[in-house]
Structure 1
Amino acid sequence: MSKLSNNAKAMIFGLGAVLLWSTVATAFSISLQHLSPAQLLVIASAVSLIFLLALVTLQGDFASLREEAKKTWRSSLFFGAINPFLYYLVLLQAYDMLPAQEAQAINYTWAIVLSFMAVPILKQRLKGTDYIAAFACYFGVLYIATRGAISDLEFSNLPGVAFALFSTLIWASYWLFNTKDTRPSLIGITLNFAFALPLILIYAAFTGEFSHWNTQGLWSAVYIGLFEMGLSFVLWNQALKLTDKASRVANLIFLSPLLSIVWLSQIADEPILASTLIGLGCILIGLFIQNSAKSK
């Protein structure tokens, strides 16, 4: 790989991250058949923290991690409470209530939420393309939520859709707050997990989740912690560092939901609904419009 240009390396790292992300909905679907959202989050967060701590140690930054923890423990607790604690708890609840294909498609609208929230928080302006993109995305959400019966407004699972939409609000908020975060990226995300894990354990204990465990979902939960919450972040971060044009790497994200549909149908044996494909198409069109306008 040493003979490749930085941009070529960035694309390889980016594709690796997107490939891992595309398998997550399948892993969620399989694991949640045996574990509750809180149980899954306990295992995945612990595995991710171990992976991130090992990576920080291998890079020789463990001393910096301890110093940063002392200086920024309030920020680390705040960010950790949002992500992974609250975000994944809400997202996994959506996956537990909806077919994985629907939950993951709705979750991709977080970029639209981010644009609108950036107006009051970051004082950014909306463009006409933002409104067009939002209309396309939320028409897609409505189509998925009603399974094509838009005129009847009969939602297949309104609480599940609400959880999926709420997860986009949390994720967008996290990234907006993250613009003020001065911690090094790898150290910051490691501290987030370190401070969030006690919160997750307390929540699981308080809700009685430790009283019954089904080990059948264990390995898929370990997979989620290692790849969705751990390695994918490292690959994506490396891709953004190497490229000279972030939008080129960012466009790779459009592959993830399409690949995810394939894995869900072939591995999780989840029948793919026509309403999901149409709704997902509308969402991807909206995101493409938004992304193209920003890259220009």
Structure 2
Amino acid sequence: MVNQSKAMLLGLIAVLLWSTVAAAFSISLSQQSPAQLLLIASISSLLFLIVLIMYNKQWGELAHYASTTWKTSLFFGAINPFIYYLVLLEAYKLLPAQEAQAINYTWAIMLSFMAIPILKQKLVFFDIIAATCCYFGVLVIATNGNPTSLNFSNLNGVLLALASTVIWAMYWLLNTKDKRPSLIGLTLNFTFALPLIFLYWGITESNSAWTVKGILSATYIGLFEMGLTFVLWNSALKLTSKATKIANLIFLSPILSIFWLSQFTDEQVKTSTIVGLACILIGLTVQNIAKSKRVK
């Protein structure tokens, strides 16, 4: 049943929660390693998803897909949350959160390029314009506002942030061929990824110290980056009469994210980040308009 006002409300709440994640990453990573953060966040997200499964009385369906699609669950779980979040969190560890989150938003542009070999889609002129804007923005951010110098503030961090966009785009492209129900699939992905995450943490950082602040911030990330927002966003898409109306709300997230970072972390927002982010948002807007015209 279409309920546009409720769809917009749920979409706005999801975007508001997503916008806090960069600040939460920054706070959490000041207390612990990426592996520790991912372990706690994944556990809290999985517990939340299991509660939803129980509420919806989908235990039988979950058990069925767990036994018949375990290879798919392991494959997708290895990509997301295991590899994707490790790469992303390592980027956040090396870069200021404002820079890492801005670069990560270029995943939609990467999606267009990767759709060419995976989904056999064609690249159009507007995709090239959008990519030029976005990656120029990345260059501005990565060089602290001096793109002609090619003097990167932290090249490894930038490369990891860009790698996260490749992994995320690949995950969503491959996910189009996944026949599992969305909630069931996500729950199984986290279920099968958790042993991999635990093993990685045990091998690399089992002696690391834990803090209450770190555990609480990682739990917040698990709930609001990986869990609740998924449910809110899916519900909004189901209730809306036009998916693009909801999808456009995501443009608010990076702007709000900069605001939360300035309020709750020690980061001083750089002019280069604002300029670079503006370029990225312009590129994404161009891509979005072009997609809307193709659909019509």
TM-score band (shorter)? over 0.9
Does the 8 A contact of 1:140 with 1:278 survive in 2? yes
Does the 8 A contact of 2:134 with 2:282 survive in 1? yes
Say which of 117, 121, 126 aligns to 2:123: 126
Instruction: Confirm or deny that 1:185 pairs with 2:189.
Output: no
Deviations along 1:75-123, whole A, 9 cap, x unmatched? Answer: 0000000000000000000001000000000000000000000011101
Distance in 1 (CA, whole Å) between partners of 2:93 and 2:20 is: 16
- Normalising to structure 2: TM-score of the pair? 0.97
Shift of 1:210: 4.2
Distance in 2 (CA, whole Å) between partners of 1:89 and 1:51 is: 21
SS at match of 2:225: helix
Output aligned runs, 1:1-296, within 5 Å: 6-296=3-293
5+ residue gaps, structure 1, are none
Distance in 2 (CA, whole Å) between partners of 1:58 and 1:127 is: 45
Deviations along 1:184-222, whole A, 9 cap, x unmatched? Answer: 000100100000000000000011334432333111111
Query: Structure 1 residue runs of 4+, over 3 Å off?
Result: none
Does the 8 A contact of 1:38 with 1:209 survive in 2? no
Distance in 1 (CA, whole Å) between partners of 2:44 and 2:207 is: 17
- Residues paired across the two proteins, number: 293
Letter in 2 for 1:143: V
Deviations along 1:110-156, whole A, 9 cap, x unmatched? Answer: 00000000011101111110000000000000000001111211100
Distance in 2 (CA, whole Å) between partners of 1:174 and 1:5 is: 29
Identity, in percent, stands at 67
- Normalising to structure 1: TM-score of the pair? 0.97
Deviations along 1:53-74, whole A, 9 cap, x unmatched? Answer: 0001101111110111001000
Deviations along 1:213-259, whole A, 9 cap, x unmatched? Answer: 23331111110001110000000011111112111100000000000
Q: 1:69 to 1:150 in 2, by over 3 A?
A: same
Shift of 1:295: 1.3
Distance in 1 (CA, whole Å) between partners of 2:75 and 2:239 is: 29
Does the 8 A contact of 2:144 with 2:153 survive in 1? yes
Does the 8 A contact of 1:204 with 1:210 survive in 2? no
Letter in 2 for 1:85: F
Shift of 1:5: 5.7
Does the 8 A contact of 2:32 with 2:209 survive in 1? no
Letter in 1 for 2:187: T
Letter in 1 for 2:133: A
Does the 8 A contact of 2:17 with 2:224 survive in 1? yes
Shift of 1:177: 0.5
5+ residue gaps, structure 2, are none
SS at match of 1:207: helix
Distance in 2 (CA, whole Å) between partners of 1:164 and 1:237 is: 26
Name the Cα RMSD after superposition.
1.0
